[in-house]
Amino acid sequence: MDLRCLLNAGDMPLHSSLNRMYLQVTSLMRDVISVFEGGDSEFISDAEERESEVDALLYLIERQVRILLDSHLVATKLNLTRTQALEYANLARCLERMMDHAFTMAQFIIEYPQIIEQNTEESPIHHVPEWQSALKELMINIRTRDSTRIEEARHQLKALQKTLLVYEHNILSERGAGQWMAQNLSLSESVRRLCAYSRDFGEILLNMKVSTEMMRVREVVL
């Protein structure tokens, strides 16, 4: 086991913290799906701990970025420009907001287990794998920054958002749905917000790519 003292802001690469945040968000959502498919609710009993870890990682990244902005030595050690560091902080905020919704869904299922019995093929929970696939593609492109693949993932997320909106409108048009309506609308909104923050994540990656290309152009001109 490799123990690191995080008092030194340059010791932990920002992308390592982002990867850990991503793994916590996606693992919780996988467990949420498992519970919906009949798994033990114990799978999501530690949801609060996972959310707390993601919050802590966000604070760590923001702390590192603040120090990096004032320290050329830290910027050099982390191998990031000030602009790149700020964008990493924005990526971390997107993941933290995704975790908020993942945690909300986990808590919702624990509080209202009857929604599992009402699970149908149209349930918004079945769209989570599509979101996971698109977010995975975006995470890969933190390093490669293939604008074509980033845009494809963002379009996939946009299409999924539209599907969920249609689902919500259809539920609202029904009469007498009562509690079932409220529960499914809540789940649908959370999945839709996961998509929205993931699209923001992709836009930040595109901004990072443009910034890098502009720096290269300046270097050539100079």
Q: What's the pLDDT tens digit per position in 188-216?
A: 999 999 999 999 999 999 998 888 887 77
User: Is the separation of the CB atoms in 157 and 199 below 8 Å?
Assistant: yes
Query: Residue 87's pLDDT band (boundaries 50, 70, 90)?
Result: very high
Q: Which residues, 6 or more positions from 101, have their beta carbon under 8 angstroms from its beta carbon?
A: 190, 191, 193, 194, 197
Q: What's the pLDDT tens digit per position in 115-132?
A: 777 767 778 888 999 999
Q: Is residue 50 predicted with pLDDT exceeding 60?
A: yes
CA–CA dist 132, 189 (Å, integer): 16
CA–CA dist 170, 212 (Å, integer): 44
User: Is the separation of the CB atoms in 84 and 76 below 8 Å?
Assistant: no
- What is the set of domains in the chain, with CATH numbers? 14-221 (1.20.58.220)
Mean pLDDT of all residues in 156-163:
94
Q: What's the pLDDT tens digit per position in 10-20?
A: 678 889 999 99
Query: Residue 70's pLDDT band (boundaries 50, 70, 90)?
Result: confident
Phi, psi of 17 (to 5 degrees): -65, -40
Mean pLDDT of all residues in 31-41:
89
